Chains A and B, each alone.
Chain A
Amino acid sequence: MTATATAAVIAPAAEAAPALRDTRPLRLITCGSVDDGKSTLIGRLLWDTKAVKEDQAAALNRDSGKQNDLGLPDFALLLDGLQAEREQGITIDVAYRYFATANRSFIVADTPGHEQYTRNMATGASTADLAVLLVDARAGILEQTRRHATIATLMGIKQFVLAVNKIDLIGYDKARFDELSLEFKEIALSLGVKQVTAIPVSALKGENVVYDGKASMPWYDGPTLVEVLELATVRSAQTVGFRLPVQRVSRPGESFRGYQGTVAGGAVKPGDSVVILPSGMVANVKQIVTFDLVRNAAVAGDAITLVLDRQVDVARGDMIATIDAQPQVGLAFDAQLVALQPGGIEPGKRYWLKSGSRRQRVSVQPSSLLDLKSGKWNRHDGALPMNAIGKVHLSFDEAAIFDAYELNRTTGAFILIDPDTNNTVAGGMISAKRGDLGGLNNEAERVILSLPADLADKILASGLLSERRDEIDIRRTNPGRAAELLGELDS
């Protein structure tokens, strides 16, 4: 999170070749309040991409009896799906919206702007690759905008769109738009986000949402909102290496044993050497089985069945990973948490932690609390109240397996479940393993060995080491590099 003086703001290249487009669905989150015109913006997206059908619009008109000046239905009613919402004129919770253009389809996490926005925003942002931050051109960048940007960044979003809405109400004033986009880009840069596009928008009139607003804003030659969304990138393969959290073991007959899961990072092909964590046993990939064909390779996001070349002990909750770049295995990790329930997060309480397919007991010790107003972390070792974002230490009874969230949004993410209520009480992101060479007892003397790989594998497979696998750090390397490392340590 370093601030940079140079304005290294990158607008998406509108001229990018269609062949390079990513056609996977883009997941995005919209942040802003009713006052900013959020419902109108989402309604406009759905309407102009024809995701709303005539009978749905007719039902809206029947329910509300009102239309706006442009003869469009009341979009807020379209979006507020629950009876209580329509009755009370409020939005509860996260809703998901779907629309598509000829080039791509989109999943929008639509979260309420005011009430409990941290909790709902964190939920919506957890799966999003891009955040649309909405401001009212008259009101400008508010403290709320900064908060939304901060939460989106914490949840791993690296692409922002600033939609300067109601631009028609300030007479399509270019100077005002330039001022707001500069102000926002500075905020984004201070959060480390470089992919920022600012767009002058009138959601009500449909300008620069799906259709361009050239008639009113000849001075703007940038992309429309939908054009930015079509060109945004989906990050799913970013990681340090191949990861397969094992969901279940498939044994349809005596002769077949496959490990089923969704590739959470990297790629794999037959012949690759893999390690099973936390046991540390190694094997080679024999086959990648799917319903359609035996595959030559699988990449992040693929749901596969992996067959290994030897009998090894693999169970649900284990992770199969590349041998060269393994995730961290340990009993203590540092993480950031968003507290999601009224009871908050209590220091020292034992929760269930679920990450991928692995569920285990954990105790949580808060160490600091984020002040969303200033963006500063303050020391804090008490309970984390609902909607708080805190840094915590996690302590496990059994080995935990993680990557840093920054490196892998799947293997670095987890939820906490309260064993008393079974409710999901926190969402968390791993920062780092604690005490890299620490293990169970930080004070104990450590020995660093360098062994031939085959010998190391035999020892690991013996079971002698697997009992205390959490205390052992393994780095696979080549002989030259090992000699260098050991040389450094000796001198």
Chain B
Amino acid sequence: MHISEFDAHTQDKQSKPPLDPHLKALENEAIHIFREVAAEFERPVMLYSIGKDSSVLLHLARKAFYPGRIPFPLLHIDTGWKFPEMITFRDEMAKRYDLDLLVHTNPRGLKENITPYTHGSALYTDIMKTEALRQALDAGQYDAAFGGARRDEEASRAKERIYSFRTPDHKWDPRNQRPELWNVYNGMIRRGESVRAFPLSNWTEVDIWRYIQAENIPLTPLYYAAKRKFVERDGMMIWAEDPRFEALPDEQVREDYIRFRTLGCWPLTGAIPSRATTLDDVIAELEIATVSERQGRAIDKDQAGSMEKKKREGYF
């Protein structure tokens, strides 16, 4: 069955131009990492967060194991505050690619009704994302978890290894990381310990977009400009169409063409004004951008060294 599928596929792709050598090198490296982790660990899992990096990660995983299926499940940590379009897209991808998709929401957070409004972004992120992730990884007894983090995203990530070692309670110790030489990865761990594996470590934001374009990778429409309702809050443009959205007394709900450069929980994700409705537009816009993509992420700015602190606690 796989072989006939593969033949049909071959004919489809005959006309596609070859990748440029730069993207090809990044693709090769990522496939190598996927295969190495799948071969070395007993229970890998892939963190799937629906965004552009996850979409590239998923595409690379499909390539790495072709003509076979992806030999591990995908895990989505659902905080309950994701954009509805993200959930629709996630379920569509799972169906289209026959994925083994797991979705986990922190039951404690649900019970105690932890929201970004009532508990603040720091505590909310800690419970609904970091704690939820630890719960799901423990429950599945996963010894390796793939993530789409890139070293160029944030300062503490620049020091991250491709195989990032975690203690049994998921802690990261940036000062005592295993040296990583050549493309020889040390996958030896004791019971309860794990690694986070980052196939996109050496990709930049521009690489991600060029690869999406070259490979025609499906994306949620949130990345493209459309008329959406929003308010200005703490210097960010916050989406205002969810039934749970409540405008503060001095806030004015406006409607204009906006899009998202990164995706997370809608109350914590800032949009940018944009008319970029196609992939070409988005890339053109990116090439002249003067601010980084994480500028739109509230959780990075809770305090200095914010990302590092979350990573030490087990966040991706």
Chain A residues close to B by CB (< 8 Å) = 22-25, 51, 53-56, 63, 78, 80-84, 86, 92-98, 100, 104-105, 107, 119, 122-123, 126-127, 247-248, 250-253, 255-256, 258, 260-262, 289-294, 301-303, 305, 316, 340, 352, 354-357, 409-410, 413-415, 417, 422-424, 427
* Complex contact A54–B290 (CB within 8 A): yes
A104 and B25 CA atoms in complex are apart in Å by 13
Known: A82-B174, A355-B184, A424-B178. A316 touches B39 (CB 8 A): yes
Known: A22-B21, A84-B175. A291 touches B66 (CB 8 A): yes
Name 6 extra pairs, CB < 8 A, besides A81-B155, A81-B158, A86-B305. A93-B175, A94-B159, A96-B202, A247-B39, A253-B3, A260-B35
* Complex contact B16–A292 (CB within 8 A): yes
B5-25 Cβ-contact flags toward A at 8 Å (1 or 0)? 010011001101000111011
Chain B: minimal CB distance from A386 (Å): 11
B1 on the A face (CB < 8 A): yes
* Complex contact B202–A262 (CB within 8 A): no
Select the residue from A23, A86, A291 with max chain B CB neighbours within 10 A: A291
* Complex contact B10–A409 (CB within 8 A): no
* Complex contact A422–B20 (CB within 8 A): no
Chain B residues close to A by CB (< 8 Å) = 1-3, 6, 9-10, 13-14, 16, 20-22, 24-28, 31-32, 35-36, 38-39, 62-69, 151-152, 154-159, 174-175, 177-186, 188-190, 201-202, 204, 206-207, 289-292, 294-295, 304-305, 308-309
A23 contact from B20, B155, B175, B202, Cβ within 8 A? B20
* Complex contact B292–A53 (CB within 8 A): yes
* Complex contact A95–B184 (CB within 8 A): no
* Complex contact B188–A290 (CB within 8 A): no
A248 contact from B35, B62, B291, Cβ within 8 A? B35
* Complex contact B158–A97 (CB within 8 A): yes
Chain A: minimal CB distance from B212 (Å): 16
For A56, list chain B residues within 8 Å (CB).
292
Chain B: minimal CB distance from A479 (Å): 40
Chain B: minimal CB distance from A126 (Å): 4
For B62, list chain A residues within 8 Å (CB).
291
For B184, list chain A residues within 8 Å (CB).
354-356, 413-415
* Complex contact A340–B179 (CB within 8 A): yes
For A302, list chain B residues within 8 Å (CB).
28
Chain B: minimal CB distance from A117 (Å): 13
B174 contact from A92, A104, A423, Cβ within 8 A? A92
CB-CB nearest in chain B for A340? B179
* Complex contact A100–B206 (CB within 8 A): yes
* Complex contact B13–A292 (CB within 8 A): yes
For B181, list chain A residues within 8 Å (CB).
122-123, 126-127, 413, 415, 424, 427
A138 and B157 CA atoms in complex are apart in Å by 35
CB-CB nearest in chain B for A248? B39
For A305, list chain B residues within 8 Å (CB).
66-67
* Complex contact A100–B305 (CB within 8 A): no
B22 contact from A23, A92, A256, A293, Cβ within 8 A? A23
For A54, list chain B residues within 8 Å (CB).
290-291
A96 and B152 CA atoms in complex are apart in Å by 8
Known: A316-B39, A422-B186, A427-B179. A256 touches B27 (CB 8 A): no
A291 contact from B1, B63, B180, Cβ within 8 A? B63
A291 and B60 CA atoms in complex are apart in Å by 10
Chain B: minimal CB distance from A125 (Å): 9
In the complex, the 9 A-B pairs of residues with the closest C-beta atoms, listed nearest first: A81-B155, A252-B68, A303-B31, A83-B305, A53-B292, A126-B181, A291-B63, A427-B181, A291-B66
Chain A: minimal CB distance from B85 (Å): 26
* Complex contact A24–B22 (CB within 8 A): yes
B10 contact from A261, A294, A413, A427, Cβ within 8 A? A294
Chain A: minimal CB distance from B42 (Å): 14
For B156, list chain A residues within 8 Å (CB).
81-82
For B6, list chain A residues within 8 Å (CB).
289
A-B contact pairs, 27 of them (CB 8 A): A53-B290, A54-B290, A55-B291, A81-B154, A81-B308, A82-B174, A83-B305, A84-B174, A86-B305, A93-B174, A95-B158, A100-B204, A100-B206, A123-B179, A247-B35, A248-B35, A250-B67, A253-B1, A253-B2, A255-B3, A262-B32, A289-B6, A292-B13, A292-B63, A410-B182, A424-B180, A427-B179
Chain B: minimal CB distance from A290 (Å): 7
